[in-house]
Chain A
């Protein structure tokens, strides 16, 4: 088996893994299963990033998503104790309608993907280095970089204030 074929097989396994994770994230009614599924799917997506040539982003994916977001969700689950609450039955019409709508959208996007002529840029640079990313972050995307910190600040303050961890608790 050539490297290429192995890579190919690994790719499809990755696909299977990702979608299995996604399915677990979406369908079961146990919220903890969902979180695990999400972690799985996110890790799979990180794998895609590897295939797409960016080790850096794959790493970030694992760090931010699997590391931070999933943990946050688990915390929320623990705080809201949903496991103690009754699990409602599935409403079939709702699921069916949701499935139809999602499928239509999926089909439409498929159509878009295959009907569009994707043309690569005329000149393509091959500079995948992290240095370039860092450089760009501090030049062209400087503003965004600043703003995203503000976003995080707002998120933190907002989460604290909204969730009720105000001075009441601290004082």
Chain B
């Protein structure tokens, strides 16, 4: 007997997708009305995922597992989606005729990611990840009036399908070792055969698909181009919600080996260091704000990996916390970008000049968000880094932590450049005043408070993430 109640969030998003599918069929729909609908539905979706956050159980012949881990990530996904849709009021990057499809793809993508975090069967995982990827390819390609960015879609697509080919090849090797597609079997069998090359190579190749989603070095190569080339809202979506799903999957997959393979951990350590260093170094020379954030996201994938490779419950919990922190901080930055570039253009760093006068609130939000990304207390970003590093040091990775901290210092440099632009530079030619409606204002204040609150009072959230980590198979 299936307990459909466990599946309510997913069903809700299916419904949402259907609504917009219907809307896309009708000839003429007012974009404002679509926006209101989307916002309402996304809000309800968030509500639903929160309401069903404490559900637990198995569905679809044990292929689908609803537990605290998955539900936490579902809430994060719903939150990210809600925020992104919230900031779609001026959806200038997308052709007005395609708004319905835009929301449709967004809903489908969220749905796919929700399935991804709950799926405990390799084929389901693969199909879910492909579904979400396809939606994203399409979303990225939808950007309007983007001649200079037209190559983005094809690049994303090509890299994506190559990575996915690697992934399915890796899954095939895993299948050959484990002879089952159930994660529970994988977790049971894999540590015993981890000495076999096929097992560990299969795991690594399978992981590459998630690394691709997470934009971990060397699977990061799409990230800068896509961040820069996609419409602002889509970039935000990729940078926030999509990252959550990827983080969840990486946590789950890395856990497969049970920490038995020292070689694998060494590899992950190397990837994490490379990712941090590469991301931070290249970010220094960026001019485009979104591209800069792309590189910073590469670096953050590395930080998150530090927590994951600790292979301990505290490590996974810290990675979850870090994901939460990353969601909030990145969204704060992107919200400011979207607000300032209301016509959907890309924002250069120097265009932030004089922001503190044009909109002090946004400037402050941006500053806190960037400081959070840099890991400066008392923001949530610091607490995230702290937890991650604590977990890593428990396993004795002192050098790794020091490298991570040095990287945090390097990253501060380019974050400060952005902050400098917002707070110091006088605009060369007068940029228009930024219009901030009251909802955005409330949201900024909430974000600011959230970043500080989560950073200063992390106790309950840490407890939550630890419970979530415990519920991993």
Contact = CB atoms under 8 A, between A and B. Distances in A.
The answer on direct contact between A and B (beta carbons under 8 Å) is yes
Interface of A: 108-109, 111-113, 115-118, 121, 139-144, 147-148, 150-151, 153-155, 157-158, 161-162, 166-168, 171
Given A111-B197, A115-B197, A144-B127, A157 B115 contact: no
B173 A112 contact: yes
B98 A141 contact: no
B197 A116 contact: yes
B97 A168 contact: yes
Interface in B157-194: 173, 176-177, 179
A143 B112 CA distance: 11
A167 B23 CA distance: 12
Contacts of A147: 112, 115, 124, 127-128, 131
A145 B98 CA distance: 28
B135 interface: yes
User: Nearest 8 pairs between A and B by C-beta?
Assistant: A158-B138, A116-B198, A143-B60, A112-B197, A140-B61, A161-B101, A116-B196, A121-B179
Interface in B76-119: 97-98, 101, 104-105, 108, 111-112, 115, 119
A90 B64 CA distance: 48
Given A141-B123, A167-B97, A171-B27, A161 B138 contact: yes
A56 B394 CA distance: 53
B61 A154 contact: no
B60 A157 contact: no
Contact of B27 (A111, A118, A141, A167): A167
Contacts of B173: 112
Contact of B201 (A112, A157, A166): A112
A108 B204 CA distance: 13
B66 to A, nearest CB: 13
B142 A155 contact: no
B24 interface: yes
B134 interface: yes
7 contacts: A113-B198, A118-B198, A140-B61, A150-B108, A155-B134, A162-B138, A162-B153
A63 to B, nearest CB: 20
B142 A162 contact: yes
B351 interface: no
Contacts of A141: 63, 123-124
B55 to A, nearest CB: 17
Contacts of A154: 105, 108, 131, 134-135, 138
Interface in B30-77: 59-61, 63-64
A153 B134 CA distance: 11
Nearest to B131: A151
B141 interface: yes
Contacts of B177: 116
A142 B61 contact: yes
Nearest to A105: B166
Given A143-B124, A158-B137, 16 more contacts: A108-B201, A112-B173, A113-B198, A115-B198, A142-B61, A143-B59, A143-B64, A144-B63, A144-B123, A147-B124, A150-B112, A150-B131, A154-B134, A157-B105, A161-B138, A167-B27
Contact of B127 (A112, A151, A171): A151
B124 A161 contact: no
B98 A161 contact: yes
A153 B15 CA distance: 14
Contacts of A109: 201
B138 A139 contact: no
Contacts of B101: 157-158, 161
Nearest to A171: B27
B196 to A, nearest CB: 5
A144 B21 CA distance: 21
B140 to A, nearest CB: 10
Nearest to B123: A144
A111 B59 CA distance: 39
Contacts of B115: 143, 147
Nearest to A162: B141
Contacts of A144: 63, 121, 123-124, 127
Nearest to B104: A157
Interface string B257-298: 000000000000000000000000000000000000000000
A158 B105 contact: yes
Nearest to B101: A161
B466 interface: no
Contacts of B137: 158
Contacts of B176: 118
A157 B106 CA distance: 13
B184 to A, nearest CB: 13
A166 B197 contact: no
A121 to B, nearest CB: 5
Contacts of A113: 198
Best-buried of B17, B121, B198 by chain A (most CB within 10 Å): B198
A118 B115 CA distance: 32
Contacts of A142: 60-61, 63
A148 B127 contact: yes
B207 to A, nearest CB: 15
